A and B are shown apart, each in its own frame.
Chain A
Amino acid sequence: MDRTSDEDVSGVFSKGHPDALKLVYERFGPLVYSIALRSLRARSDAEDVTQQVFVSAWRSRDSFDPKRGTLGGWLVTITRNKVADALRERQRQSRVLLQVAGGATVSASAPPADQVVDRILLADELAQLPESQRLVMVLAFYSDLTHEQIAKVLGLPLGTVKSHIRRSLQRLRSRLEADGVAY
C-alpha cells in the first residue's frame, strides 16, 4: 500500500463510511498493536489497548482533521494516550494493594518510550515500500554491503539502487516527521 492509499483510507474514514473502520484497522492495526505490545509487554493488555484505540477513534472520528495531520499520526497519538492510561492503571492497582499490605511504595511505570513508537513507525513504513525498494533498504541498513555490492547481489542497475536509496530514505524521513514522536 503506498502513500496515496493511506490518503484514500483516511478519506473514507473521515467521511464515516461504514466499511472504513475495517479498512483503517487492516492498515494500522499492526502498527497500533505493536506499539502497545512493545510498551506494555503483555499481549492481553496490548489487545485491550488496540480495541480501545479503534473504538475510540471511530467514535471520535469527527474530531479527526486530515488537514492537520495524517490518520496514522492521529492513531499513534490515541495509542500513546491509551498506553499511558493502562500504565497508570497498573500503577494504581499495585499502589492500592500495597497500601493494604502495609504502605510500601511503588515505583513509577515508565511511559511508552518515544523511540519505541518511532522504531515501529519505521518498520511500518519499510513494510509499505515496494518489494525491490524494501529489499535494497534492508540490505543498506542491516548488511555491510555498499550500494555497488547491493546492485550486484540483487542484479539491479546501479542507478536504480541509488535512486531507491535516496527516495526510500526520504520517504521514511517524511513518515517520521509526520507521525513520529522523538524524531
Chain B
Amino acid sequence: MSHTDPVILALRALGETAGTAQDDDHTQTCLHCGHELARLTEVVDLARHAGSDEHLEQPPTAVWDRIAAAVGTGAVSSGPVGPLETVASSNGHQRMAEDSGERTGVGARRSFWAGGRRGRLVTVLAGLAAGLIIGVGATVGVVQLTTAPGTRVVAQIELSPLPAFPQWQGTTGTAVMRATASQQVMVVT
C-alpha cells in the first residue's frame, strides 16, 4: 500500500483525528510513516512545551555598535601598550584580537572603553591597596571602578592584614568581585 498522506501525518502530529483506520494500521506498521509521525510530533511537542510566549528578543542597539567598533578598521591600531592592558587581561574582545594576530593599541582600547558599559573605568592602581595581600591566584586586575550599571557583584569579602604585616594591623578593607560575561574586575578598598 502507498504511504500515508503527509497532510494526515501532520494533522495527527497536532493531535487531530485525521485519516482512516487503514491509516492507523499503516503508520503503526510502516517504518517510514511511523518515523515521520514521530518526528513531526516532536516538533509539535517542542513548540507547545515552549508556549506561545517563547519569542525572540532584539539585542539593544548598543550591541551592534560594539561589534562594529571591534571589527572595524578604526577599532585596531598599533600603539604602545599602556597600563589598561592588565585590566583587560581576561577580556574576550582583547583575547580575540590577540588570537587573530592583531595588536590592540591605545586607540582600540579607547574606542572600546568609551563605547561600552565599561566606559566608567577611572583609575588603575599600581599595586594592591594599603598593602593588603590576598591569596587570589587568578586576580584579573586591580582597579578602582565607579559603580557601573551592567556589572554585578559576584562576591564580596572583608579583608584584614596577614600576621606577616604587623605594620598594617588594624587596617581593614573590602574586596568586591564585579563581573560581566567577558570581564572581571576586583575592587579593593
Contacts and interface: CB of A to CB of B under 8 A. Distances in A.
Interface of A: 21-22, 25, 29-34, 37, 40, 42-52, 54-56, 58-59, 82, 85-86, 89-90, 92-94, 96-101, 115, 118-120, 122-124, 126-127, 138, 140-142, 146-147, 162-163, 165-166, 169-170, 172-173, 176, 183
B63 A47 contact: yes
Given A44-B181, A59-B99, A100-B136, 7 more contacts: A33-B56, A34-B57, A47-B181, A55-B96, A100-B135, A141-B47, A173-B43
Contacts of B93: 51-52, 55
16 contacts: A29-B58, A30-B58, A51-B66, A55-B70, A55-B96, A56-B96, A82-B92, A115-B49, A119-B50, A140-B14, A162-B7, A165-B14, A169-B14, A170-B10, A176-B43, A176-B46
B117 interface: yes
Given A100-B175, A142-B48, A165-B10, A122 B54 contact: yes
Summarize B's interface: helix, strand, loop or mixed: mixed
Given A29-B59, A47-B63, A51-B70, A93 B184 contact: yes
Contacts of B64: 22, 25, 29
Contacts of B151: 44
Interface residues of B, number: 61
Nearest to A177: B39
Nearest to A162: B7
Interface in B131-173: 134-138, 150-152, 154-157
Interface of B: 6-7, 10-11, 13-14, 16, 39-40, 42-44, 46-52, 54-60, 62-64, 66-68, 70-71, 90, 92-93, 96, 99-100, 117, 134-138, 150-152, 154-157, 175, 177, 179-184
Summarize A's interface: helix, strand, loop or mixed: helix
Contacts, number: 183
Contacts of A48: 92, 180-183
Nearest to A21: B71
A100 B157 contact: yes
Given A89-B181, A94-B155, A141-B48, A123 B14 contact: no
Contact of A101 (B155, B179, B183): B155
Given A96-B136, A97-B157, A138-B52, A49 B181 contact: yes
A176 B39 CA distance: 10
B59 A50 contact: yes
Contact of B54 (A29, A56, A119, A162): A119
A141 B67 CA distance: 37
A98 B56 contact: no
Contacts of B100: 59
B47 to A, nearest CB: 5
Contacts of B179: 89-90, 93
